Amino acid sequence: MSRALVIVLDSVGIGGAEDATVYGDAGADTMGHIAEACAEGRGNHAGLRQGPLNLPHMTALGLGLACEASTGRLPPNLAPQAPLKGAWGYGVETSNGKDTPSGHWEITGVPVTFDWGYFPDTVPSFPAELTKALIEKAKLPGILADKHASGTAVIDEYGAEHMRTGKPICYTSVDSVLQIAAHEETFGLQKLYDLCKIARELCDPYNIGRVIARPFVGSAEEGFKRTGNRKDFAVFPPSDTILDTLVKAGRSVVTVGKIGDIFAHRSTGEEIKPHGNDACLSAAIDAMRNLPDGGFVFANLVDFDTEFGHRRDIPGYAAALEAFDRRVPEIEAALRAGDLVIITADHGNDPSWRGTDHTREHTPILAFGPGVKTGEIGRRESFADIGATVLAHLKVSAAGKGKAWL
């Protein structure tokens, strides 16, 4: 019996979607602009990386061709140099929004057709009744920030005051999210999680997709740094995803990284949540080695987004892509006859773009494995085609969105 692995390279978009103008993202192109920057020397960083973008394994899977199909432009140094080893195409998001739940839910067959709630880009940003209830229920001395902000900048701005007063740092963005940052040691990690659970309930009437705990350490003198103990408190998907379908069919499911949080821990099977891209990829590869027939591994590699996209760090993003590419042969070595791997993304986060938010983009779809037919799978009119293909490959039938390309 076949097995399947889906790896989401969080935020690795490949060109502005047709509706990108609606989101202020016309012209955004995460992969294309990174490749161009590296070709021009803007991706160089002493001790980190130098020269043109070097992704030989993903290029052989069709990454450059997927970019060209999406935008009409072949990014520098992404032209295949040998016969292709995979099937390639690109996905078009139909969901409302350009954030993590929308992208992941659509991948698993549940596009977001409703409108998320958002907090306005004002100061204060949160409704007074929400702030009042949060302070009262959590017995807080108050909150700090209460505005749209970059996660790293807001900690630098309010970290010292937070440690002095005990007031958590609450902020948002263009996404449907309330983020709460607090010091792991002086405030306490479990206290932060408990606070986010209260905020999650209070955000439900506003239809906010996620409340995110953003723990950090450090001091004003030595600088503050976010830790890997982030935790997302999401709402449930509105209908059954392929995860639900597979669990009901008795199949083994393993989720790696923040997948469990994104799906509110519903039908997420064995959850493994290490810190960092490398550790998450290692966990996914190990899971594939041990996965029984008919099983499914679903992994998210978040560092592309959180560490480099939001921080507009082109060299860091390029280095992370190259680090992942070097490990593609390890993925291939863990496969058995009949296995399918799909590499994709959930949205864009162009590090050359204005602001610090996600970008509305097409996403790559690279499929490979022993026996997988190589060649173009074309433009997929919904990310849900990925989930439909996984179910078809695993021979599990279910009514839902998406069309399999198998």
**Overall average pLDDT of the 111-125 stretch:** 96
- Per-residue pLDDT tens digits for 37-93: 999 999 999 999 999 999 999 999 999 999 999 999 999 999 999 899 999 999 999
- Omega prior to 111 cis, within 30 of 0: no
- Candidates 308, 320, 387, 379; CA nearest to 348 is 308
CB atoms within 10 A of CB 373: 10
- Per-residue pLDDT tens digits for 236-270: 999 999 999 999 999 999 999 999 999 999 999 99
Stated as kind and residue range, the H or E segment containing 319 is helix 314-326
Q: Phi/psi zone of residue 72: left (φ > 0), alpha (ψ -120 to 50 degrees), beta?
A: left
- Candidates 401, 390, 311; CA nearest to 349 is 311
- Candidates 296, 384, 382; CA nearest to 110 is 384
Asked whether residue 399 carries a pLDDT value surpassing 80, the answer given is no
**Same-domain pairing of 30 and 176:** no
- Asked whether residue 324 is domain-assigned, the answer is yes
- Asked whether residue 22 is domain-assigned, the answer is yes
pLDDT tier at 184 (50, 70, 90 boundaries)?
very high
Is 0.85 topped by the overall pTM? yes
Distance CA 320, CA 79 (A): 20
- Per-residue pLDDT tens digits for 150-181: 999 999 999 999 999 999 999 999 999 999 99
**H helices, E strands: number in the chain:** 14, 14
**Same-domain pairing of 107 and 10:** yes
Distance CA 37, CA 115 (A): 35
Rounded to 10 deg, the angle between the 384-393 and 100-107 helix axes is: 30
pLDDT tier at 406 (50, 70, 90 boundaries)?
confident
CATH of the domain at 280: 3.40.720.10
CATH of the domain at 205: 3.30.70.1250
Residue 101 tokens read as 């739940």
The range of the structural domain enclosing residue 57 comes to 4-114+238-393
| Final residue before a domain boundary, out of 179, 207, 233 | 233
123 three-class SS: coil
| Final residue before a domain boundary, out of 189, 214, 233 | 233
Distance CA 213, CA 180 (A): 5
- Per-residue pLDDT tens digits for 194-243: 999 999 999 999 999 999 999 999 999 999 999 999 999 999 999 999 99
**Same-domain pairing of 173 and 226:** yes
- Asked whether residue 120 is domain-assigned, the answer is no
- Per-residue pLDDT tens digits for 333-353: 999 999 999 999 999 999 999
**Same-domain pairing of 246 and 227:** no
| Final residue before a domain boundary, out of 233, 262, 286 | 233
**Same-domain pairing of 254 and 306:** yes
CB of 6 within 8 A of CB of 107?
yes
Distance CA 51, CA 368 (A): 28
**Same-domain pairing of 185 and 164:** yes
**Same-domain pairing of 106 and 64:** yes
**E strand map for 184-295:** 210-219, 223-226, 231-234, 253-256, 270-272
Q: Residue 340 contacts by C-beta under 8 Å, 6 or more apart in sequence?
A: 2, 3, 4, 5, 367, 368, 369, 372, 389, 390, 393
333 three-class SS: helix
**Same-domain pairing of 56 and 10:** yes
